[in-house]
Amino acid sequence: MSRTLLINVADDEERRAALLENDRLSLLWVERTDDHSYVGNIYKGRVVRLEPSIGAAFVEVGLERAGFLHVADVRHPDTEGERGERGEPRTNGRREARIDEVLQRGQEIVVQVARDPIANKGATLTTYLSLPGRTLVLFPGLGRIAVSRKIEDEAVRDRLRTTLESFDLPPDVGVVARTASADAPDDELRTEMESVLADHAALREAVQRASAPALVHRAADFASRAVQELLVRSPDGAGGPTRVVADTPDSVDRARAAVVDAHERPSVELHDGPEPLFHAHGIESEVRHLASTRVALNGGASLVIQETEALWAIDVNSGKRRRGANLEATALETGLLAAAEVARQIRLRDLAGLIIVDFIDCREPENRAQVEAAVRQELARDPARMRVAAMSEFMVLEITRKRTRAGAGRAGSLRCPSCGGVGRVRSAASAGLAALRDARAALARGKPSRLEIVCSPSVADDLERREGDLAALEAAHGVEIDVVEEPGIGPDQFHVHLV
């Protein structure tokens, strides 16, 4: 399978990285310069608020909002349990401490951004720090050696453990061999270990000098991060891109520096054609379509993807697809067709939290099992951490997925000012009637000489046909009513003013 990583940083306002598999879009990162990612940055912060009811603290780190730090992500001797290879907590039967038992208001603490701020929520923080390289990740304070679970060959795992144990690590510093380390020679691992240890020494010195709140370690630049992460985060875990194409000389240099120690080094090229990079590779239109709620499938079927306050909902529709001999065959064929696209859209849009996928009902248990197996196989290719529940008898699949950055559909977008994110607006007739009712209520409360209804042109048109009702109000209250068009407001919006 051919893999190409495209790095688009030619425009100052927005940076994008896309991973193509056989020339088809598979992963996408989007980062705006006015809303760039903080993931991986390490700060010396100050605890500004403790919330025992939710087991969390809010830490001022110098960003627009204080960051959120859950008690499970606070390193403390009394609560330290077993940690996973990425430093994530694992339950071990110990009592979970209260946040006010491990932190105090005003306390200075070193934290790392685990998830970017999203909407009105501050960044998610952790005190389990990590310093990533291409093949290794250093964990200050973890104090253990581990190998990525994606490396299944026991001989390779044993070799990597032996190599890691030969390194002269500082006390209480752990290291994890990433997936990319499987084919890396020992001298490459040693070189990278020296690099991440140098980063660790610089971090310790910066923490000593800084006064909270302060940034003490900045994550790698966008091009370096894209190469570093996507070289080991290919969806099926079968290796990273064989070709990297960037559209500025500086990003080419940074990409080359990021792969300089790679055992199997991909080619790094500068795109200098007349067309923009994503247009030249035929993916710009698909990237733009990621904000759409509907995704077409072959044969007339489709997916409908919508966000609610609590979850993402994905509905599989057969549409005009009627290729099966009967309804059961159509449901099975559509479910198998949708499985790969559901997983792909979740990756591309970086959906997170609770995701509900509603497939077309199959009556036969073996058909339900076949669809479930297909979608699980495709979801297994996702590099993000997730959990998938068993499919229900109604063909509903529940997924929880962790996100670290705002999804591509959110980047550069705002909540619709007309509908407020609902997705629908009132008809002009409904809004006109509501304006008439508000006018009646306002006149019942006061005795003005004039009442003004400021509204959109469509609402004004509807009020024009209600001229008799407005005239009756004027006569009953001895008041003049003016309807004022305001083209700049939403199609169903209006305001009633007493003058």
pLDDT 10s digits, 188-223: 888 889 888 999 999 999 999 999 999 999 888 888
Residue type, 266: P
Where in 181-322 does DSSP place strands (E)? 214-217, 243-246, 267-270, 294-296, 302-307, 311-317
Q: Residue 210 phi/psi, 5° resolution?
A: -80, 155
Of 236 and 480, the one with more pLDDT: 480
Strand 386-388 versus strand 311-317 pairing type: unpaired
- Greatest Cα pair distance in the chain: 94
Q: Residue 344 phi/psi, 5° resolution?
A: -65, -40
At residue 277, the pLDDT reads 93
Q: How many percent of the chain have pLDDT more than 90?
A: 49
Is the pLDDT at 264 greater than 50? The verdict is yes
Is the pLDDT at 271 greater than 60? The verdict is yes
Residues 6+ apart with CB under 8 A from 265: 259
Q: What is the separation of C-alpha 185 from the centre of its chain, rounded to a whole number of angstroms?
A: 34
Residues 6+ apart with CB under 8 A from 360: 316, 317, 318, 330, 331, 334, 335, 395
Taking the C-alpha atoms of residue 314 and residue 281, their distance in angstroms, rounded to an integer, is: 28
Residues 6+ apart with CB under 8 A from 412: 14, 30, 32
Taking the C-alpha atoms of residue 498 and residue 451, their distance in angstroms, rounded to an integer, is: 5
At residue 93, the pLDDT reads 46
Q: What is the separation of C-alpha 196 from the centre of its chain, rounded to a whole number of angstroms?
A: 27
At residue 94, the pLDDT reads 52
Residues 6+ apart with CB under 8 A from 366: none
Residues 6+ apart with CB under 8 A from 358: 313, 314, 315, 316, 394, 395, 396
90-104, 231-245, 396-410 — which is least confidently predicted? 231-245
Taking the C-alpha atoms of residue 363 and residue 247, their distance in angstroms, rounded to an integer, is: 51
Is the pLDDT at 369 greater than 80? The verdict is yes
At residue 262, the pLDDT reads 55
At residue 414, the pLDDT reads 67
Q: Are 131 and 75 in contact (CB under 8 A)?
A: no
Q: Fold identical between 42-217 and 428-498?
A: no
Where in 82-168 does DSSP place strands (E)? 108-115, 124-126, 131-132, 136-140, 145-147
At residue 245, the pLDDT reads 94
Architecture of domain 3-36+221-285: 2-Layer Sandwich (3.30)
CATH class of the region 428-498? alpha beta
| Residue with token string 């009633």 | 496
Average pLDDT estimate for 146-169: 89
Of 68 and 320, the one with more pLDDT: 68
Q: How confident is the model at residue 440 (pLDDT cuts 50, 70, 90)?
A: very high
CATH superfamily name and code, 42-217: Nucleic acid-binding proteins (2.40.50.140)
Q: What is the pLDDT of residues 372-428, one digit of tens each?
A: 999 999 998 887 888 999 999 899 999 999 875 655 655 656 667 777 666 778 899
- Pick the most confident of 19-28, 74-83, 230-239: 19-28
Is the pLDDT at 92 greater than 50? The verdict is no
At residue 54, the pLDDT reads 92
Boundaries of every domain in the chain:
3-36+221-285, 42-217, 290-401, 428-498
Q: How confident is the model at residue 325 (pLDDT cuts 50, 70, 90)?
A: low
**Average pLDDT over the chain, rounded to an integer:** 85
Strand 131-132 versus strand 243-246 pairing type: unpaired
Of 198 and 263, the one with more pLDDT: 198
Q: What pTM does this model have?
A: 0.71
At residue 254, the pLDDT reads 87
Average pLDDT estimate for 60-88: 75
